[in-house]
Structure 1
């Protein structure tokens, strides 16, 4: 029986190619209306092109640069999409590496920063596996990869996926403790900052036994850093105290707090400014991008729809309100606009902070948000601190009048409250910090005059009197040596 030959036309080739593309395991969840992601596509295309070369036996020759980079992409795709062959792909990777894994680790960082929230669940598992392997071989850039993963832990998020990432990351840090301590100690201080922060959220809720196990693991990690590597806590600076004080109700941290007061010159730690990189740890790259867009591109008066979108996207449930604390620290300490932006009609930082304060519905969250706003005021030293960190609070108080007078009064009241009660034993240090902040804001012309606050009849006479006394103390020569008794 004769068999008719089958001719494959160019259009058929195109169909076959498209089907082969679809057959490759997808790394991300993607809606039908979404365009292809360039990073995902580049990894998949490299895998499809080089797949025959990803099976042993592997050639012993060193590939040219272009092929080397593409081979890195293909191997990464293979590790993520073929768990059953992951060890084979890892061995292949070890055999070809000529740059200390720099390009490969950079691919992983991009994957985490750009696509983590869209990754398929099995791919996330593989991502943590390959991260562990990169730690094992001391890959160049492993510190950046670990930081990228820490940034994907969301504050106030009690979904299973987020709690899983918390658990996997704390397991990773505990499991690789010795290596990280020797090779990347600053990453341990970054992890301490993150887990202290999320613990304050986790300790406010009571869920199932699995959740209790996570809290215990996070607690054990933080305690281990404090007990065994106390010098790493100092790397964080003054904000480590702010975070630790939010956990003093947890029995394990009560002893840590007592030891801190006994073994440490807390005044020295108060006066150590926290580097802005720590504040980025609690802001996801996606959130950071939207905040920077809001603060550099959106005109004042046109911000409402962007703020509504941001709130629905990142603050959609009451539990996520605690993220506002992190956002305030980010805006004050990690986003310093240029002079062009400051003098333009773009919405200013103080206005965004005022809006975020209104988003708070829980008293303890609002109090911590205000503390985040004023924290650098309390220990301000002109030769150490940046005036941009303290600028938003004073501008919010001044510019809220008279339309939002309650905002001004609430902030003034809170400022006096923390001066008097935040740390009674070091009240003089805190008063010196606030006086220094007011002095710099005055001398640098951030506000033309404090009269708008001291002469407004709508502000409580009690608050105006305290402010006048504080400002008069600021104007006295040698005010740094004054005691805070006049504020009683």
Structure 2
């Protein structure tokens, strides 16, 4: 009996249910997977079992994979949906436990499923893109990055019809390039960087109208690549010659700023395992218990060389893709702003810290109440306010960075950015995210320059209210009594 396994497992780990079902189906139908194939129409139950058996055979018997696939073609009745779903579940739940040979076969079958336009193949490809980890320079991670790029190249016409996959791939590889380009190493690495550059430039130059869907975070990613010659040309055209992209109505970079990046893009740089653990941390872990879970998360995801690079991706995910319910917000569950404050302290190098702060404030710079969600800008404000007075250095650092962004992020559109930051602050106060900013404008621990600059962003009504409160607080008790009378 075939005892081949798919997954690596520690001795203390329980049996994987999906792997067990695949092995069981393979043992039951192994004799039917060889020519001559049965012409009998399988029942629904048998059809499901056969799909599982064939999937296991393809993953564990590379020399017979084409034979197994031929049999699948003869029995398929659902557009390959069930078959693809098996691999999607395996990829989402257990990709990192897959044996190396099984990973190779998974990529091979993806290619085959693209050629038959299998149902759900786009979801499987996006799941694989999510498993290319940022800041991870191991051979297996770079291999996955290269193999998926080759798949894009070899199936280009199909990808042009599957826009969600094409845009997702662009977002992923723009982000990966900022990590990979700084590396020097083997010929394989140089080839990978060249493929990544060629793919991204091709999409940006020839299909920019499709790229607009990514929204303002496209600008954030491109800005991190301006030191690469090909991307410097793209950046200069975005700033000074936007008509060169040939998109009707796109005549200024501010048009891109005004498009909110859809949530699904922030999931792309958080692998499924990391997403599950972050959502657990922000849904169930109570104040006072968070340090143990933070240490566990850091050991798992932030403990290897280069891992700082992924912290900005985590912050964008927390701000834009994880919005807790009112019930959780009002409970004793650890807040998003507190986790982000901890992540900022995990940054050891200034470059990565600056990227994390930009990720935190990015939606402030272009916020429009009509299209943007206040939950995206809430964590930054709460981190600023709640850090006073115990962690006032955090408040000082964040305010200083915010004002630096207003003045320097895009000097040609400074007025737009300043107006958006004012809108952000006003809305956060108006909606009661913070009751007022008095704790900041009256905080002697902050420099007068920062307090004055913050005051310049406050609405007149808020200033009048705070001035009245400050005047009343300065009165002697008897003077206050006379004033109230």
TM normalised by structure 1 equals: 0.92
Query: Distance between the aligned counterparts of 2:88 and 2:10, measured in 1?
Result: 23
Query: Distance between the aligned counterparts of 2:133 and 2:310, measured in 1?
Result: 8
Structure 1 position 177 matched with structure 2 position 164: no
What does 1:449-460 align with in structure 2 at a 5 Å threshold?
449-460=436-447
Deviation at 1:474, TM superposition (A): 8.6
What does 1:474-485 align with in structure 2 at a 5 Å threshold?
none
The residue that corresponds to 1:94 in the other structure is 73
What does 1:374-413 align with in structure 2 at a 5 Å threshold?
374-413=361-400
Q: Check whether the contact 2:426–2:459 (CA below 8 A) recurs between aligned residues.
A: no
The residue that corresponds to 1:228 in the other structure is 206
Secondary structure of 1:470's counterpart equals coil
Structure 1 position 50 matched with structure 2 position 50: no
May I ask how many residue pairs the two structures share in their alignment? 454
The 1:459–1:241 alpha-carbon spacing in structure 2 relative to 1, beyond 3 Å, is same
The residue that corresponds to 1:39 in the other structure is 18
Deviation at 1:357, TM superposition (A): 0.3
Q: For residues 183-213 of structure 1, give each alpha carbon's deviation from its aligned partner in whole angstroms, at most 9, with x where no partner exists.
A: x122100000000001101112222222111
The residue that corresponds to 2:471 in the other structure is none
The residue that corresponds to 2:102 in the other structure is 123
What does 1:319-398 align with in structure 2 at a 5 Å threshold?
319-398=306-385
Q: Check whether the contact 1:27–1:119 (CA below 8 A) recurs between aligned residues.
A: yes
Structure 1 position 138 matched with structure 2 position 145: no
Structure 2 stretches lacking a partner, 5+ long: 243-249, 464-485
Query: Distance between the aligned counterparts of 1:293 and 1:34, measured in 2?
Result: 20
Structure 1 position 164 matched with structure 2 position 151: no
Query: Distance between the aligned counterparts of 1:66 and 1:459, measured in 2?
Result: 69
Q: For residues 327-361 of structure 1, give each alpha carbon's deviation from its aligned partner in whole angstroms, at most 9, with x where no partner exists.
A: 00000000000000000000000000000000000
Query: Distance between the aligned counterparts of 1:191 and 1:131, measured in 2?
Result: 15
The residue that corresponds to 1:316 in the other structure is 303
Moved over 6 A (4+): 473-476
Pick aligned residue for 2:53 from 66, 74, 91: 74
Q: Check whether the contact 1:192–1:225 (CA below 8 A) recurs between aligned residues.
A: yes
Pick aligned residue for 1:471 from 453, 458, 465: 458
Pick aligned residue for 1:64 from 16, 28, 43: 43
Query: Distance between the aligned counterparts of 1:465 and 1:273, measured in 2?
Result: 30
Deviation at 1:409, TM superposition (A): 0.3
Deviation at 1:472, TM superposition (A): 4.3
Q: Check whether the contact 1:47–1:77 (CA below 8 A) recurs between aligned residues.
A: yes
The residue that corresponds to 1:199 in the other structure is 177
The residue that corresponds to 2:188 in the other structure is 210
Deviation at 1:31, TM superposition (A): 2.2
The residue that corresponds to 1:307 in the other structure is 294
Q: Check whether the contact 1:296–1:341 (CA below 8 A) recurs between aligned residues.
A: yes
The residue that corresponds to 2:263 in the other structure is 276
Structure 1 stretches lacking a partner, 5+ long: 1-19, 477-488
Secondary structure of 2:13's counterpart equals coil
* Greater alpha carbon shift after TM alignment, 449-458 vs 258-267: 258-267
Structure 1 position 251 matched with structure 2 position 229: yes
Q: Check whether the contact 2:421–2:457 (CA below 8 A) recurs between aligned residues.
A: no
Q: Check whether the contact 1:438–1:474 (CA below 8 A) recurs between aligned residues.
A: no
The residue that corresponds to 2:435 in the other structure is 448
Q: For residues 26-73 of structure 1, give each alpha carbon's deviation from its aligned partner in whole angstroms, at most 9, with x where no partner exists.
A: 111122232110011111110001101111111223211111011000
Q: Check whether the contact 1:373–1:393 (CA below 8 A) recurs between aligned residues.
A: yes
Secondary structure of 2:456's counterpart equals helix
Q: Check whether the contact 1:54–1:75 (CA below 8 A) recurs between aligned residues.
A: yes
Query: Distance between the aligned counterparts of 2:95 and 2:460, measured in 1?
Result: 52
Query: Distance between the aligned counterparts of 1:454 and 1:126, measured in 2?
Result: 60
Pick aligned residue for 2:285 from 285, 298, 323: 298
Deviation at 1:318, TM superposition (A): 3.8
Deviation at 1:180, TM superposition (A): 1.2
Query: Distance between the aligned counterparts of 1:461 and 1:30, measured in 2?
Result: 58
Deviation at 1:471, TM superposition (A): 1.1
Deviation at 1:475, TM superposition (A): 6.2
Q: Check whether the contact 2:441–2:455 (CA below 8 A) recurs between aligned residues.
A: yes
Deviation at 1:259, TM superposition (A): 2.3
Deviation at 1:179, TM superposition (A): 1.1
The 1:463–1:474 alpha-carbon spacing in structure 2 relative to 1, beyond 3 Å, is farther
Q: Check whether the contact 1:186–1:232 (CA below 8 A) recurs between aligned residues.
A: no
